């Protein structure tokens, strides 16, 4: 796979990540099992006529995309976006009005905005991009397929740059449904202590992350995504094989991985796989990210943004370590970083990144 060079990124999350270039000095810890995005002042990105029609997910997705593009001031040749559930608020409004008005007199706006590719269209119209524009709706592999698609387009010399991103929102209704299905912890916890709770389920999250990716290595210091692997309901043997294959393909040894950024979401059902990867990569410094953003379909996007900042800054804040392993701080230079995301055991992802 051709490396995907990251030339800019922007992230709206439950942490104050937006408009901040450096790593955060401290994290915000939330009480309760549902983390919501810290929303910026949207008026700087969206005109008043558009903003009154847009739901939260569209607003934070669009703003993250615009911010990412503004940083590099260049026109993307492709817009590739992943979302697990799209604009849930609009979908819920539309479905409720179908029921309430017995399939008559339905509002146009929630219907239009409930379609998954709405954000692609809005960005394309705003930036006057009329080339490749695709939305991947592959549940917890949605963002991963955006990266894979970009890699294929780069490999085939179709494009030089691509705006790649993801967005997902958590509504009260969706949270309540998933609570009944056992996705979230029954007990209310403090998000910073997510990994200390040995119980079923996780905490819910949401967010939007965008990257401007380039096929060509910039002249300045940069980071790139070297490789990606997606595994559906793998066994630990599958995981071991895939990690080894990923490293071998990129001429790396396990000992070359300086950091393992784990997407352990605190669900005891996924303990076996998370524990295996942790032990398998024992030579790497182990960090975590789900206590910052919560669990959602496109949380890998948040992890890549965080990894990009760690690689650039060469600093690891204390809040990324396991609360009981803070004394294992690493001071060594960080070159290779492996993200391992695990969405309730079903969708598991490996993303290999490097700093140049």
Partner 1 sequence: MQDVQELKQVLKTQIIESLNLQGMTPDEIDDNAPLFGEGLGLDSIDSLELMVLLERNYGIKIEDAREGRKAMESVQAMAQYISEHRTK
Q: Does 52 bind partner 1 (CB under 8 A)?
A: yes
Choice from 44, 75, 107, 216 touching partner 1 (CB under 8 A): 107
Residues 161-182 as b or e (16 or more Cβ within 10 Å = b):
bbbbbbbbbbbeebbeebbeee
Please, which residue, 53 or 172, has the CB nearer to partner 1? 53
What's the CA gap between 35 and 170, in Å, rounded?
A: 8
CB of 90 to partner 1, least distance (A): 12
CB 298 within 8 A of CB 166: yes
Sorted by sequence, the CB contacts under 8 Å of residue 331 that are 6+ apart come out as none
Subset of residues 126 to 145 that bind partner 1, contact rule: CB under 8 A? none
Q: Does 102 bind partner 1 (CB under 8 A)?
A: no
What's the CA gap between 161 and 354, in Å, rounded?
A: 19
CB of 63 to partner 1, least distance (A): 17
Q: Does 232 bind partner 1 (CB under 8 A)?
A: no
Choice from 47, 49, 156, 237 touching partner 1 (CB under 8 A): 49
126-130-136 Cα angle (round to 5):
85
Q: Which stretch binds partner 1 (CB under 8 A): 46-54, 171-179, 307-315, 338-346?
A: 46-54
Please, which residue, 48 or 333, has the CB nearer to partner 1? 48
Please, which residue, 101 or 232, has the CB nearer to partner 1? 101
Choice from 106, 152, 196, 248 touching partner 1 (CB under 8 A): 106
Residue 321: its H or E element = none
Give Dmax (Cα) for the chain.
64
Q: Does 99 bind partner 1 (CB under 8 A)?
A: no
Phi-psi region of 136 (alpha: psi -120 to 50; beta: other; left: phi over 0): beta
What's the CA gap between 136 and 4, in Å, rounded?
A: 18
Q: Does 108 bind partner 1 (CB under 8 A)?
A: yes
Q: Does 43 bind partner 1 (CB under 8 A)?
A: no
Summarize as ranges the residues that interact with partner 1 (CB under 8 A).
Answer: 48-49, 51-53, 101, 104-109, 112
């Amino acid at each position: 796979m051709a490396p995907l060079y990251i030339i800019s990124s922007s992230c709206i999350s439950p942490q104050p990540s937006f408009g901040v270039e450096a790593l955060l000095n401290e994290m915000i810890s939330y009480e309760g099992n549902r983390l919501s995005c810290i929303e910026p002042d949207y008026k700087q990105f969206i005109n008043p006529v558009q903003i009154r029609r847009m739901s939260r997910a569209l607003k934070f997705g669009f703003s993250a995309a615009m911010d990412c593009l503004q940083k590099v001031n260049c026109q993307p040749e492709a817009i590739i976006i992943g979302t697990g559930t799209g604009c849930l608020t609009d979908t819920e409004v539309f479905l409720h009005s179908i029921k309430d008005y017995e399939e008559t007199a339905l509002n146009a706006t929630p219907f239009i905005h409930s379609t998954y590719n709405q954000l692609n269209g809005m960005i394309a119209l705003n930036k006057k991009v009329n080339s490749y524009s695709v939305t991947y709706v592959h549940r917890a592999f949605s963002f991963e397929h955006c990266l894979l698609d970009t890699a294929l387009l780069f490999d085939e010399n179709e494009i030089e740059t691509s705006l790649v991103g993801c967005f997902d929102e958590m509504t009260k209704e969706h949270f309540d449904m998933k609570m009944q299905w056992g996705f979230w912890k029954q007990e209310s916890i403090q998000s910073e202590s997510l990994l200390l709770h040995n119980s079923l389920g996780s905490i819910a999250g949401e967010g939007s992350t965008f990257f401007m990716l380039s096929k060509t290595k910039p002249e300045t210091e940069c980071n790139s995504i070297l490789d990606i692997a997606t595994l559906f309901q793998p066994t630990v043997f599958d995981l071991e094989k895939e990690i080894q294959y990923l490293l071998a393909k990129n001429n790396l040894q396990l000992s070359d991985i300086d950091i393992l950024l784990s997407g352990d979401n605190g669900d005891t059902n996924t303990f076996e796989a998370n524990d295996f990867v942790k032990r398998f990569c024992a030579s790497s410094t182990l960090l975590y990210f789900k206590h910052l953003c919560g669990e959602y379909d496109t949380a890998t996007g948040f992890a890549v943004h965080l990894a990009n900042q760690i690689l650039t800054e060469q600093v690891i804040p204390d809040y990324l370590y396991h609360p009981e392993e803070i004394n294992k701080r690493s001071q060594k230079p960080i070159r290779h970083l492996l993200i391992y995301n695990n969405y309730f055991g079903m969708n598991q992802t490996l993303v290999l990144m490097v700093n140049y």
